């Protein structure tokens, strides 16, 4: 259905992407070989950037929604230990300031946000998303619950305490849906991503933000500078193009349907010219003839629409991967298409009906 296909053009990935500028940093080990050096850089950079005119909030992280992501395996305190290899997993996002949720526009559902001390000291506290909370503790209070990371070579397991639940975001793509996610104080600063929420055009602050960063390290490379809107558009670009093409084909199909209805009714009016002449000769009013022709055409259109809706209902299931935020059987989409078809059909019926009104009864009878 045209309406369902076009609905993918409106994307709501679970966070507020408007007025957010992003940029990425690759931190040279020669100058930032220790986490303390990286943490100090983040703190100083955020202090400088946050005071720029037009900046509302800023935050460093090791990635943003719908971009880079890491995964962690864990066990759940108070639940039976799973078999090796079947441990629950969650996407993990490291953040360097409490302003991460505010900057990305991610709502805090219950509990509290991180404090600056918890992040600076890398305390074992986490904020989980709704998907993880529902998966592990459905209909239960999750605040104060604990999960334990699995030991890896060179990495000791850590007991993590849940302090809050944040709204879901799409971590990888719109098609994959939302997945369990954990936010925790950043412990690995190899790659940094800066997000800045502004009250003005984000692009207008690019130079000023870069200048503040280079005041701290003039040789630091900055790459992939883009607004979050641009990031989302790039990710959904193929789907938007597919929907645009399908919309064009749908519009052409609608146009051909109207032309077909017009052709059928024009031929019908021509064949029934003697009958219409007899009716008018016997006293039929012009309005009656108009209603007769219109009713005949609209009955054909309704019959075709019923068949088309049935087939469309089946075939749209194949297009589910192209849709986001709307089901293949969205009632509003079906109503919109039906209304459009009825309008085109009414116009296509009216034009032949006007021709029928011009039939000369005497000439029609003579031809008979």
Same domain (yes/no): 263, 216: no
CB contact at 8 A, 222 and 24? yes
Same domain (yes/no): 230, 278: no
51-65, 123-137, 268-282, 330-344: which has the minimum mean pLDDT? 268-282
Same domain (yes/no): 229, 274: no
Tell me: pLDDT of 11 over 60: no
Among the candidates 235, 252, 267, a domain finishes at 235
Q: What is the model's pTM?
A: 0.68
51: confidence class by pLDDT, cuts 50, 70, 90: very high
Tell me: pLDDT of 49 over 70: yes
Region 61-81 average pLDDT: 81
Region 301-318 average pLDDT: 80
3: confidence class by pLDDT, cuts 50, 70, 90: very low
Same domain (yes/no): 102, 134: yes
Higher pLDDT, 203 or 13: 203
5-14, 27-36, 343-352: which has the minimum mean pLDDT? 5-14
Same domain (yes/no): 226, 241: no
Domain that holds residue 185: 2-235
The CA distances from residue 166 to 46, 105, 182, 185, 246, in Å, are: 23, 10, 9, 15, 36
The CA distances from residue 291 to 194, 285, 294, in Å, are: 66, 10, 5
268: confidence class by pLDDT, cuts 50, 70, 90: confident
pLDDT at 127: 95
Number of structural domains the chain divides into: 2
Same domain (yes/no): 253, 202: no
Same domain (yes/no): 262, 191: no
pLDDT (tens digit, 9 = 90+) per residue, 168-181?
887 766 666 688 99
């Amino acid at each position: 259905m045209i309406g369902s296909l076009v609905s993918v053009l409106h994307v709501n990935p679970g966070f507020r992407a408007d007025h957010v500028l992003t940029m990425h940093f690759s931190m040279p080990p020669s100058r930032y070989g220790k986490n303390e050096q990286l943490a100090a850089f983040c703190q100083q950079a955020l202090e400088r950037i946050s005071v720029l005119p037009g900046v509302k909030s800023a935050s460093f992280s090791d990635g943003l929604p719908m971009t880079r992501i890491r995964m962690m395996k864990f066990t759940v305190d108070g639940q039976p230990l799973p078999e090796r290899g079947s441990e629950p997993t969650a996407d993990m996002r490291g953040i360097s300031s409490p302003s991460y949720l505010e900057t990305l526009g991610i709502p805090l559902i219950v509990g509290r946000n991180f404090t600056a001390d918890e992040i600076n000291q890398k305390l074992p506290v986490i904020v989980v998303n709704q998907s993880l909370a529902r998966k592990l503790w459905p209909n239960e209070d999750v605040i104060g619950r604990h999960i334990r990371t699995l030991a890896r070579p060179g990495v000791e397991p850590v007991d993590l305490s849940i302090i809050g639940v944040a709204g879901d975001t799409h971590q990888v793509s719109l098609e994959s849906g939302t997945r369990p996610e954990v936010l925790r104080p950043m412990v690995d600063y190899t790659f940094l991503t800066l997000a800045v929420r502004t009250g003005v055009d984000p692009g207008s602050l690019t130079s000023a933000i870069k200048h503040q960063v280079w005041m701290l390290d003039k040789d630091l490379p900055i790459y992939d500078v883009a607004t979050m809107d641009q990031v989302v558009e790039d990710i959904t670009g193929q789907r938007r193009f597919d929907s645009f093409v399908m919309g064009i084909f749908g519009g052409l199909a609608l146009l051909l349907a109207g032309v077909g209805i017009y052709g059928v009714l024009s031929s019908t009016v021509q064949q029934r010219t003697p009958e219409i002449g007899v009716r008018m000769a016997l006293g039929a009013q012009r309005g009656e003839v108009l209603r007769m022709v219109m009713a005949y055409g609209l009955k054909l259109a309704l019959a075709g629409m019923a068949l088309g809706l049935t087939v469309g209902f089946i075939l749209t299931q194949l297009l589910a991967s192209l849709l986001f935020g709307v089901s293949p059987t969205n009632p509003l989409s079906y109503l919109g298409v039906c209304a459009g078809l009825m309008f085109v059909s009414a116009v296509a019926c009216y034009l032949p009906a006007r021709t029928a009104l011009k039939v000369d009864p005497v000439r029609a009878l003579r031809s008979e």
